[in-house]
Chains A and B, each alone.
Chain A
Amino acid sequence: MTDLYIARGQRLAARTLATETVILKADDSGLYVLNEVGTLLWGAADGVTPLATIVERLICPRFEVDVASACDDAVEFVRALGDHAILTVSDRPITGEATPPASAGAAS
């Protein structure tokens, strides 16, 4: 898999509630709720850690899934979030813009 890098989008509000992350867009009030896997990816979306590394370190051990299929699913997932401007997805590290915080977790 070509290395992909993910960064949290701009102009978003977000809060992690236990295993879910609620995201709200300032521009159109779009509301999104990420499940546990999405929450892990969101929290790790620092723009510089390759997606494959995130999947291997955080997703696979937790959900007992093989790396290849987990990576395929993750790519599809982050591209979908990219289409909604929830994540910025790039084939090179994303360092040009500040990555908003993942949000303080609550009741986790």
Chain B
Amino acid sequence: MSTLLDHVMARATDLELPISVHFDLTYRCNERCVHCYLDHDDHGELTTAEVKDVLDQLAAAGTLFLIFSGGELLLRTDFFELLAYARALGFDVKLKTNAILIKEADALRIRELGVRQVQVSIYSHRAEVHDGITKVAGSFDRSIAAIRFLKSQGLRVLIANVLMRENAGDYPGVQALAAGLGAEFTLDPTITPKMDGDTSVLSLRIPTTHLLQVYTDKSLLGPPQPPAAIAGDEPEADFLNDAPCSAGHTACYVSPYGDIFPCVQFPLPSGNLRRERFDDIWRHSQQLKEVRAISLRDLPTCSVCSLQSSCTRCPGLAYMEGNMRGPSSADCEKSLVAAEARRIHEAN
């Protein structure tokens, strides 16, 4: 992280500002990905006017970094109106999309509106594998065509490759595909439970042996584990007084129904924007206060774990496993694998 961005994040922390917000505009989707954690029915999305009001409130609260996601956000017929409104309010906007609805004219409009990055989910370099995961025939070709449209406009595109059993061996192909398209590439082995608590999708997680292979793959410039895990950095003296992550501290999540959560991966209901103003929720929600009160020292299992300094424990995943102060078994597994990867790295 750059020094200047460190400064901005420290400033946001000091001022207790929600500098980063992930805003899902819809849960509706035109794909049916096998690992998705969402319920795609529309249970009463915020209207155009309501979304604009929320954006006004977020701007006033100090939010700068805004992720528009879904569901598939381009299913909202008012998407470009909302994007233009957000940009006029001075937000830094990133989009997360499957991109299959993006045509040339849409790519042009996205560039003209000053979007900084478009993240597109690609599961494999093989169309049949990608389409098998999305359950939409032809989705691979449409997403790739959209990426070409976006790149032709000079936009920054990030290909996000979620790893699961179905595509576990395909990431080198996706990485090469991204390079060929002039896109950035990121790999994520995290499969999360559904927001209703259903854990059936966890069976899609790649096995530990394959995770180790990923963590020791030297071709990956941005492995899922931070460099500290590989380099074995010593924790800072006040490490245990730190917050577990930015969720609820400088970041939060807004659902299509106006619900506020600490993070998209931390479905702790903390208020609803149809009943309360954002600022009231951000400053006075008992749930957010509870999240903010937790330092690493307060985690009974994790605070005494030998891997604590390099662990990327997600409190949201821990919450979904039943205890926001407990460990997340998925992150425990990743930390153990990262430690083994470090041992192998040091031995070579």
Contacts and interface: CB of A to CB of B under 8 A. Distances in A.
A13 B62 contact: no
B90 A33 contact: no
A106 B60 contact: yes
A22 B89 contact: no
A34 B101 CA distance: 39
Interface string A1-27: 000000000111111011010101011
Interface stretch (B8-16, B133-141, B161-169, B185-193): B8-16
A103 B62 CA distance: 9
Nearest to B5: A31
B91 A13 contact: yes
B64 interface: yes
Nearest to B56: A104
Given A11-B114, A103-B59, A104-B60, A17 B93 contact: no
B2 A31 contact: yes
Nearest to A10: B114
Interface residues of B, number: 31
Contacts, number: 75
A101 interface: yes
Interface residues of A, number: 24
Nearest to B154: A27
A102 B88 CA distance: 10
B49 interface: no
B218 interface: no
Pick the most buried of B11, B12, B19, B64: most chain A CB atoms within 10 A of its CB. B64
A17 B90 contact: no
Contacts of B8: 17, 22, 31, 33
A100 B59 CA distance: 14
Nearest to A25: B116
A95 interface: no
Contact of A101 (B90, B116, B156): B90
A12 B87 CA distance: 9
Contacts of B63: 15, 106
A104 B61 CA distance: 8
Interface of A: 10-15, 17-18, 20, 22, 24, 26-27, 29, 31-33, 100-104, 106-107
10 contacts: A15-B19, A15-B64, A24-B116, A31-B2, A31-B8, A33-B7, A104-B56, A104-B89, A106-B61, A107-B62
Q: What are the 9 tightest A-B residue pairs by CB atom distance, in nearest-first order?
A: A106-B62, A13-B92, A103-B90, A15-B64, A104-B59, A26-B114, A11-B114, A107-B15, A24-B92
Interface of B: 2, 4-5, 7-8, 11-12, 15-17, 19, 56, 59-64, 87-93, 114-117, 154, 156
